Amino acid sequence: MDNDYRLMNMIDEKARLAGSNKMELLLFSLGSTEVFGINVFKVREVCETLPITRTPNMPAGVEGIISLRGSILPVIDLACCLRMDNDQPKTKLIITEFSSHTQAFLVEDVDRIVRVDWEQVKSPQSIGQSQSAMITALTELAEGKLVSILDVEQILAEVIGESDVPEMENLRSDHPHPVFFADDSNMARKKITEVLDRLHLPHQSATNGREAWEKLKTIASRAEQEHRDIKEIVSLILVDAEMPEMDGYVLTRHIKEDPRFKGIPVVMHSSLSSVANKKLGQQVGVDAYVGKFHPEDLAGMVTSMLPA
C-alpha cells in the first residue's frame, strides 16, 4: 500500500510538470567552480559515498562497484568521464535509473533541486559556446550561475559501450513513409538515424522541441499550399521527453491539438521508461512509448505504427 501511495504521489507531481514546460534539476559539483545538473526524473536517490570495491578490467571512468540494498551497481566517476583532473574528495553518490540501467554517479557534492523552464534551457551552440559531447544543454540560475546539464546517456554509452544496430528487413519501397524525429542528444540522433536508414525510411530531424515544432508547422503549411496529404511528408513523429526550449510533452500536445496532424502517430522515444513517465505521455496524447538505445525495439515500434 505504501509503495502504491508513493508511486501515485510521484505520478501526480510529475503530471504537474508535464505540459508545463518545466523540469527539475539536481545540482551538483565535481571539484571545480562549475555547476552541473541532471534531470530529477533520472535520479532514484542521493547518498553518502559507500565503500567502493575495485574489480579487474573495469572500463575507464568506472571507479568500481557498490552493494546497495542487495543490488550490485557500477560507480561512474563523472569528473573522470569529463576529464576533469582534481584531487577533491568525492562525498556523494547519485543513484540513477535510465535507459534500462541503474548506476551510481560519484560526485564531489550535491547542492539542491531547482525548477527551471525548458524555455530557459539552451543548447551550447545557441548561446555561442562550443558543444561538448558530454554537455547536452545549459541554463542560468536566478543568481547568475550557469548550469551544465550532462548528457548522461552519452556518458553511459562511452563507459559501457554502444549497442550495435542489427540488420533489419527493408520496408516496402513503394511506401516511403517519411519519419520526423526530435532529440537533443547527439548519440540518440545517431542511433535513430542508423535504425531509420536500415529500414530505408526517409527522415528529417530537430535538436529540440521548439525547433521541431517550427519545422513541423512549416511542413504542414507546405502540404496545404501544395494540396498534398501531409502524410506524404511525415508519416510518423518520434519525440524525446527531455529537450531544451520545449520538452516532448508540450511538443506532443501542440501536435495533437493541431488538426493538420490528425492521424499521424506520435511515439515518445525516451530513456525515462518508468510507469510515471509513460502515464504522462499518455496524458498529452502520445500514441506509443519506446525506450531509448534498444534498436530492435525502436524498429519494431516504428514499423508497427506506420500505415500499411
What are the CB-based long-range contacts (under 8 Å, 24+) for 55-60? 59/159, 59/160, 59/161, 60/159
Tell me the percentage of the chain whose pLDDT exceeds 90. 51
* pLDDT over threshold 60, residue 3: no
pLDDT for 257-293, tens place per residue? Answer: 999 999 999 999 988 766 667 777 888 899 999 988 8
Helix (H, G, I), strand (E, B) or coil at 252: helix
Q: What is the mean pLDDT of the chain?
A: 85
Class of the 179-305 domain? alpha beta
Please give the grid coordinates belonging to residue 144: 547568475
Q: What is the pLDDT of residue 142?
A: 87
Candidates 182, 278, 186, 270; CA nearest to 234 is 182
State the burial class of residue 279 (Cβ atoms within 10 Å of its Cβ: 0-12, 13-18, 19+): middle
Q: What is the pLDDT of residue 270?
A: 87
**Start-to-end C-alpha separation, the chain:** 44
> Residue 6: pLDDT band by 50, 70, 90 thresholds?
very low
pLDDT for 10-19, tens place per residue? Answer: 444 554 555 5
pLDDT for 136-176, tens place per residue? Answer: 899 999 889 999 999 888 898 888 776 666 666 654 445 57
Q: What is the pLDDT of residue 298?
A: 92
* pLDDT over threshold 60, residue 9: no
* pLDDT over threshold 90, residue 51: yes
> Residue 83: pLDDT band by 50, 70, 90 thresholds?
confident
* pLDDT over threshold 90, residue 206: yes
* pLDDT over threshold 60, residue 210: yes
pLDDT for 166-195, tens place per residue? Answer: 666 654 445 578 999 999 888 889 999 999
* pLDDT over threshold 60, residue 8: no
Please give the grid coordinates belonging to residue 146: 550557469
> Residue 41: pLDDT band by 50, 70, 90 thresholds?
confident
Q: Mean pLDDT lowest for which of 65-69, 121-125, 276-280?
A: 276-280
Q: What is the pLDDT of residue 2?
A: 44
Distance (Å, whole) CA 249 – CA 253: 6
Q: What is the pLDDT of residue 273?
A: 62
Q: Mean pLDDT lowest for which of 97-101, 109-113, 295-299?
A: 97-101
Contact 104, 73 (CB under 8 A): yes
Q: What is the pLDDT of residue 19?
A: 55
Report the CATH architecture of 2-160: Beta Barrel (2.40)
Distance (Å, whole) CA 194 – CA 214: 24
Q: What is the pLDDT of residue 279?
A: 76
> Residue 64: pLDDT band by 50, 70, 90 thresholds?
very high
Q: What is the pLDDT of residue 163?
A: 67
Tell me the percentage of the chain whose pLDDT exceeds 70. 84
Give me the residue spans of the domains in the chain. Answer: 2-160, 179-305
